[in-house]
């Protein structure tokens, strides 16, 4: 009937990830070493997306969403890393993550190694760097 109107053959990220068993947005979860007693699990972030500006760190924080809202997550981040100059809470459906900006000269607490500890949830999150804007984007169809 409307032969001139074609459906888009490109899938969104959510559609492509939903069809696969492995997501491009996840965190590897593992136990801490015996001397790390402040938390029961460590989540290593794996998010393959570009950021709004160069130099961002991405934190996958879905595991603590039952105890912390976005504002509380940003307060914890600021308490542990006071030199962070920007933080954007983002979500993809039920998945939540933070896009965090800190200049290397001001990164006194080594955010990439130390991450963020959420005491109330007994969790630690280690970030990953955002993908460079020059990365090749692949559309699944």
Write the pLDDT tens digit of every residue in 49-73.
878 888 899 999 999 988 999 999 9
- Segments forming the whole domain that contains residue 63: 25-129
Question: CATH number, domain at 58?
Answer: 3.30.70
| Between 45 and 31, residue with greater pLDDT | 45
Write the pLDDT tens digit of every residue in 73-128.
999 999 999 999 899 999 888 889 999 999 888 888 899 999 999 999 999 999 99
Residue 1 reports pLDDT greater than 50? no
Domain annotation covers residue 103: yes
Write the pLDDT tens digit of every residue in 128-138.
998 876 656 66
Domain annotation covers residue 86: yes
Write the pLDDT tens digit of every residue in 2-26.
455 455 566 665 565 555 444 455 5
* Number of independent structural domains in the chain: 1
Domain annotation covers residue 16: no
Domain annotation covers residue 13: no
Domain annotation covers residue 11: no
Span between the terminal Cα atoms of the chain, in Å? 24
Q: Return d(Cα 79, Cα 137) in angstroms, integer.
A: 36
């Amino acid at each position: 009937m409307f032969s001139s109107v074609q459906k888009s053959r490109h899938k969104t990220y959510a559609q492509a990830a939903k069809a696969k068993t492995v997501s491009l947005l996840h965190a590897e979860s593992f136990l801490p070493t015996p001397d790390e007693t402040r938390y029961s699990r460590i989540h290593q972030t794996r998010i393959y997306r570009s950021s709004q500006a160069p130099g961002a760190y991405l934190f996958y924080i879905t595991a603590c969403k039952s105890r912390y809202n976005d504002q509380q997550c940003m307060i914890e981040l600021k308490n542990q890393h006071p030199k962070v100059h920007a933080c954007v809470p983002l979500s993809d459906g039920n998945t939540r993550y933070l896009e965090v900006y800190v200049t290397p000269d001001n990164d006194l607490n080594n955010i990439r190694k130390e991450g963020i500890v959420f005491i109330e949830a007994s969790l630690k999150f280690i970030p990953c760097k955002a993908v460079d804007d020059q990365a090749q984007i692949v559309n699944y169809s």
